[in-house]
Structure 1
């Protein structure tokens, strides 16, 4: 039986702040068609979870201990180039934003973005992975 429903989007949340991880998990779990496959507190954990769970979309903090998000994004894209990465940061450093433009991430999103906008962004990026013909690369929010 064929279904016209959107496929379940597999999302990984990576942030060194427990409250941020918990808040994002709650907001995303409330959405139909989104499955949180894991929560990681640094880039090294994120890479391990990507190898294990193969998420469609990753919300990836840029500044974390052990391994930062920019370094982790290169490893993640080498594991699965189609994984969509949202660089998620509160830093206002213009150099960091320039670096994120050259890193293998798909979208840069500031942490003060409204939750509804972030959820919509996750869904859009999830559609890129599940429908590669509708790929419009390198947006910013």
Structure 2
């Protein structure tokens, strides 16, 4: 997770560790994986595992009852998969963040989870230190996805807009909204090309603090929560196309 991107504030993952306890629910259909994650997180100060779920439906039910800060969500599960469960959590438990897990880096289900409202994803072989740091970042609502990896995922799988009749709160909405300034549009394009705040500042010859201000305004106009959803929205709106780079 080195080099993972934050949201509008562009916080560095390694510097985002908070002092308060992060309450975590683990959702995975494999018992050994669940127990492994519990054993990994158990000794970590500032992290409390409050529950375990064996499928997506159970994860939603437990999240409603236990109100965890973060659900560590396996993508592929029976009864209700991780993507559908993420969408339900986004609608029904909006204060709860989702960190998706996948065995494979390039998995279209990961993109679907980000579209549904997940704040990011990690591979299942993540180290304890990376996982704990990611949990703390995700708790703030920022994305935990390396920009270049995110760009590769989306350029591989996001090819056309999907327009549900009534998007869930926090879900990505297709189309370029009215009212974007030329600079906000350019910041959006550069985010989708994989640049962090420092890179955007250098590209546009403006200060990093100005970039942060543009990103805050941009996210509000796009009605997205973080960088991950902003990149998806850029591809779905046709602002950038698969294979393009800044």
**TM-score between the two structures when normalised by the length of structure 2:** 0.49
Deviations 1:73-127 (A, max 9, x none): 111112221211101010355422332331210011111222221121112223x
Q: Secondary structure at the match of 2:78?
A: coil
Q: Is the 8 A contact 2:82 2:113 kept in 1?
A: no
Q: Give the whole-Å Cα distance in 2 for the aligned partners of 1:78 and 1:35.
A: 24
In the alignment, structure 1 residue 117 sits paired with structure 2 residue 142: no
**Higher alpha-carbon Rg:** 2
Tell me which protein shows more strand as a share of its residues: 1
Cα deviation, residue 23, structure 1: 0.8
5+ long unaligned stretches in structure 1:
129-134
TM-score (norm 1): 0.83
Corresponding residue pairs, total? 129
Partner of 1:139: 144
3-state SS in 2 of match to 1:139: coil
Structure 2 unaligned segments of length 5 or more: list them.
1-17, 147-246
Contact 2:70 2:96 in 1 (8 A): yes
| Superposed CA RMSD | 1.8
Structure 1 runs of 4+ aligned residues shifted over 3 Å read 91-94
